[in-house]
Amino acid sequence: MAVGNSASLLLGLLVLVHTWGAWAAVDVNMEDRVEVFRGDTAQIACMFTSVDGIGGVTIMWFYMLQKGERQQIYFQDSTMKITKQGTPYSDRISVNGTGANGVVVLTINDVQLRDEVEFICLIKSLTDGTGEGRTKLRVFATPDLPTIEAVETAFSVHDLKPAKIGVCEVTNGYPKPNITWYRENTPLRNDHGVSVVSVITSEYSGLFSVKSEVRMMVTKEDKDAKFYCEVNYFVPGGTRMTETNRINITVYYPSTAVKVWVESPKGKIKEGDSIELQCHGDGNSPSSVLTITHDGGLEETLDDNRLVLSNVTRLNSGVYHCNSLDLESDKEITGNTTVFVNYLDPAVVIPHDTVVIQGEELVATCNALSSPLTHTVVWFKDGREISRGHTLKLKDTTFSTAGTYVCVVTVAEIEGMETSGTLRVTVKGQPKIIRPDNTDIEESFEKSVNLNCMVRGFPVPSITWTTSDGQVLKTVSQEETEDSVKSVVSVKVMSDITAVCNASNEYGTETLTFSIKASESRCLSFLSLYSMCMTLPGRIKISRIS
């Protein structure tokens, strides 16, 4: 009870008592009500005054039965104090005070719900003047903590009837607790597609249990909303409040926007890559179907919201449309993205195979058709970079110029995007003998010596070996390449000799002369007394070992 109300009631009671006291011999003053929790102790005070004094008064306590009759539970006068037996209060009440000071207090132990009745204090004086006062005993029981249970099924914004969201329950309270549903911080009332139904149960114990169910038409905005219940219940002197846990619900709603993008690869795409397209709507309805079309082509239904294109080519470039069709509402929305596949065709080298006259200049070009990206061209020979740019210029060509050139075209912006072409160069010219470090050879008599003649030239030169006296030497081996030849002869040294390598083709002739000097052979010893040595020209000299 509010303080202001208590003060007003007390003032009214005093006025009433004092007004009544004008014709009564006894004035009785009591509180309008006393409030306690179930199981606690209640104390009800009875204050009185008598014009005849307070020494000879009789004090009686009653409580009101449901049928409107009063039932005495206590009697007291100057000689005795009697607790009425056979009542619900026989062993639970006591009265403090003799009345000598004008106050007696009724104490009730272990208050129960059935004790919520009106108690009467009756004071009777010796002169037969009487007065009485009344106090209503109010009993309260704190309910158990409330529970909330969400409905596990999902809800669709297309549902035609309010859907059951959840159930809240609070048990064993007194007086009846009140349940209020909240969506976020806004209470839910029976209005605008919301239905709240509460069922009150009176338990055998006299306590109340309340179960409340909320139904509503769900919207997309409810997908992130938190629902909960607030329980208000009475306590002595006021009210208290407690809340349940928060629950949320699953709401299915169609998409209002669709987004499609390239999930991989990140960055620029090149031919040969695999592309993963992802398509998602901002809805979650299981009745929605996602499809993708490419530049108006055939529709492809997405598997797990994605489409994989393997080994793509430039033909896969274009606009991809993702369509979301909601089968419940038959509404369709579309999103799109543009895919560009970069390409780099094989390099074209002009000329591809060429023959150039020794000393002339060679100009070659290397180009590769590509998407509009910056690319670089580098020329290599034998793995070594020799030039950069589309054009290769080789001046004053020599036989060293001949060989295979590789043109590599690279797009730096995209890893692994490169192509290459080759240029095979052949240089025509008269033979050029690659001279060894030494052409003067000394070898022992009757020993054989191998002579090598390495010649470059194109067409490949023909090689003959002759001696200074016109003898033609037979070739032991000969190896040829496109622009070189290696010839080997074996000469047995019988005397000093000159051997000539003659190389020639249609552009000229070149020779290389080897001078071989025969030297004395080593001497052999025999019988530990003599040595035998071969000397030139073909003589044997035997000497005694000194």
pLDDT tens digits, 45-71: 999 987 655 567 899 999 999 999 999
Q: What structural domains and CATH numbers belong to the chain?
A: 3-140 (2.60.40.10), 147-252 (2.60.40.10), 258-340 (2.60.40.10), 348-429 (2.60.40.10), 436-519 (2.60.40.10)
Six-digit token pair at 25? 């011999």
Q: Which pTM was predicted?
A: 0.62
Residues 6+ apart with CB under 8 A from 90: 73, 83, 84
Report the pLDDT value the prediction gives residue 470, as an integer from 0 to 100.
Answer: 86
Task: Please tell me the distance from the alpha carbon of residue 344 to that of residue 419, in angstroms, as a whole number.
Answer: 7
Single out the residue of 161, 215, 168, 223 nearest to residue 188, CA to CA: 215
Residues 6+ apart with CB under 8 A from 298: none
pLDDT digits (tens, 9 = 90+) for 443-472: 999 899 999 999 999 999 999 999 988 899
Bigger pLDDT: 329 or 355? 355
What are the backbone dihedrals phi and psi of residue 127, each rounded to the nearest 5 degrees, phi first?
Answer: -90, 15
**Mean pLDDT of all residues belonging to the chain:** 88
Task: Please tell me the distance from the alpha carbon of residue 148 to that of residue 72, in angstroms, as a whole number.
Answer: 47
- Write the Ramachandran bin of 305: left for phi over 0, alpha for psi from -120 to 50, otherwise beta: left
Task: Please tell me the distance from the alpha carbon of residue 252 to that of residue 255, in angstroms, as a whole number.
Answer: 10
CB 364, CB 355: distance < 8 Å: no
According to DSSP, residue 247 is labeled B
Six-digit token pair at 544? 């005694």
CB 60, CB 66: distance < 8 Å: no
Single out the residue of 354, 406, 404, 403 nearest to residue 380, CA to CA: 406
**In this model, does residue 373 exceed pLDDT 80?**
no
Single out the residue of 164, 337, 197 nearest to residue 263, CA to CA: 337
The pLDDT of 392-416, averaged and rounded, is 93
Single out the residue of 79, 87, 39 nearest to residue 62, CA to CA: 87
pLDDT digits (tens, 9 = 90+) for 407-445: 999 998 898 899 999 999 999 999 999 999 999 999 999
**In this model, does residue 540 exceed pLDDT 60?**
no
Six-digit token pair at 202? 């009176």
Where do the DSSP E strands lie in 174-315? 178-183, 186-187, 194-202, 208-216, 227-235, 238-243, 251-252, 258-264, 269-270, 275-281, 288-294, 300-301, 306-309
Instruction: Taking the CA atoms of 260, 262, 266 and 270 in sequence, report the sign of the dihedral they define.
Output: negative
Single out the residue of 217, 234, 238, 228 nearest to residue 173, CA to CA: 234
Q: How confident is the model at residue 21 (pLDDT cuts 50, 70, 90)?
A: very low
Task: Please tell me the distance from the alpha carbon of residue 536 to that of residue 521, in angstroms, as a whole number.
Answer: 9
Task: Please tell me the distance from the alpha carbon of residue 168 to that of residue 244, in angstroms, as a whole number.
Answer: 8
CB 33, CB 138: distance < 8 Å: yes
CB 82, CB 76: distance < 8 Å: yes
Report the pLDDT value the prediction gives residue 228, as an integer from 0 to 100.
Answer: 98
CB 257, CB 282: distance < 8 Å: yes
Single out the residue of 139, 127, 59, 147 nearest to residue 97, CA to CA: 59
Provide the pairing of β-strand 484-492 with 318-326: unpaired
**3-class SS shares of the chain: helix, strand, coil, % to 5:** 5, 55, 40
Bigger pLDDT: 526 or 201? 201
What are the backbone dihedrals phi and psi of residue 524, each rounded to the nearest 5 degrees, phi first?
Answer: -110, 145
> Cα–Cα distances in Å, from 23 out to 19, 27, 29?
8, 10, 16
Task: Please tell me the distance from the alpha carbon of residue 423 to that of residue 47, in angstroms, as a whole number.
Answer: 126
> Hey, is 122 helix, strand or coil?
strand
Task: Please tell me the distance from the alpha carbon of residue 72 to that of residue 106, in angstroms, as a whole number.
Answer: 13
**In this model, does residue 12 exceed pLDDT 80?**
no
Six-digit token pair at 532? 């035998």
Task: Please tell me the distance from the alpha carbon of residue 93 to that of residue 108, in angstroms, as a whole number.
Answer: 5
Q: How confident is the model at residue 7 (pLDDT cuts 50, 70, 90)?
A: very low
Instruction: Taking the CA atoms of 133, 135, 136 and 137 in sequence, report the sign of the dihedral they define.
Output: negative
CB 121, CB 106: distance < 8 Å: yes
Task: Please tell me the distance from the alpha carbon of residue 292 to that of residue 298, in angstroms, as a whole number.
Answer: 8
Q: Which of 144-148, 479-483, 504-508 has the lowest mean pLDDT?
A: 479-483
**In this model, does residue 4 exceed pLDDT 90?**
no
Task: Please tell me the distance from the alpha carbon of residue 327 to that of residue 468, in angstroms, as a whole number.
Answer: 105
- Write the Ramachandran bin of 92: left for phi over 0, alpha for psi from -120 to 50, otherwise beta: alpha
**In this model, does residue 513 exceed pLDDT 50?**
yes
The 10 Å Cβ neighbour count of residue 296 is 8
What's the alpha-carbon Rg for the chain, to the nearest Å?
61
Apex 192 CA angle, 147 and 185, nearest 5:
45
Bigger pLDDT: 56 or 16? 56
Alpha helix segments (H runs only) across 110-266: none
Task: Please tell me the distance from the alpha carbon of residue 362 to that of residue 350, in angstroms, as a whole number.
Answer: 11
Single out the residue of 96, 99, 62 nearest to residue 78, CA to CA: 99
